[in-house]
A and B are shown apart, each in its own frame.
Chain A
């Protein structure tokens, strides 16, 4: 409950801050006007523009991506039975990066037709397909007699991550200056590309999987006892593994596709939520959704304001903030 209220507050705050400052009171007024509840004084027209065309989609994207990363992280930690697990383990991020880099590198050579058709969306589509392919590959490799094995998934994830990373590295090495800038910009993560079109296109891919994952609370709890006992309790672990991996891939794949690689959120948010209120997944899944949204929105505020008007890549912010927090947790738990 507390989390949800803080989330709303943070979101409002975030809408106001940035290179172009809008006081919080005005934000409220503008929102009310949009819904049709009050009158807008004319000199606020520029504010209106900034808020609704630029700022709002960006904040919404931050909320969506943060929530997606948070809940998928919690789900993956549930099936791997390990608080150090992260959606990246099953290859989603490296696959998305690989395909994004391929698109950037070969755009002028191979994808000219597609590029003209889809424009900006080519990159997003490529990244999404990449995320899906690698996760699918990792899942397929892990099947033994038709049943997914979690340890094999982990090892296959490491292998596929390595391979994708190597090819990505090779492509980066061969890229031109201009391509390199685009690649780096994408790899570090940024919410700057948010437009209403983007956000509405991506939203269902994030909201639906996110919503569905919330139903797996009980089953993920049972996983903690070991898969055999979870099965003996009737939790159908094979189905759970398939669903959590699929839903996570969709949500994180879509997020990564639009906003690049943003690390640490999937790992640290569920962990923090557990520290605050216990390990029961029925609470942790919901909490991670809300906290993930909040954390990323805050990180986005920082990325916009720390070096205004320059934007720092959000992946850098989450890494810079995340690492000391992670180390602190590790040391405290010793």
Chain B
């Protein structure tokens, strides 16, 4: 059962002129969150913006004794809600409903975990990397952004022992171009006998390309899809994803209930 809390803003850390990390006091949600799950957030109490917005749980915050105290969300300012989230002040309260949705499937060693993140699609991978590293799984993060200044939390992933393969569209850090190129290359270099699980989150085009690349190399792949959601609970049918079904027709499933994590090879990509 999800919890709905008026979560106090503990901290708001700007990462750039658009990106920020908002820390919310929400112990019950933090305690139940699994990597890949999301929360529905409404900053402000007015009618505009009216609806909540979905965000992956970015980090689970813990006190000195390890007890979960809250969560953070990684946000990119693109509209009214994300502007309010960017400008939120400590002490303010934010409606936060969760945890919601189906989490990532965790693998065990010797299977390796290769995470593919584009931009704000980094969000679900902090908790996923933590969980997988705690299980002794070797992890690589393929992480692409427009420029070096939009590649965040690199030290966090390095400290966890996650291998990094970075790309920027302007070539200011890592390999110039998109993140699919190093993914494809490294998959090609892998012995087919080795076991690799691919996880992806980012823009729809990147997810489709990751799905194609994973399929070409016969590797399993889970993607966390982003959709406009009305409720996050299965009530509104706004957030559907077309999936292959037995009768050959595309079947719309709700990303909030069946996802946001879905098997890449079951999605009907455009």
A binds B: no
- Give residues in A with beta carbon < 8 Å to B: none
- Give residues in B with beta carbon < 8 Å to A: none
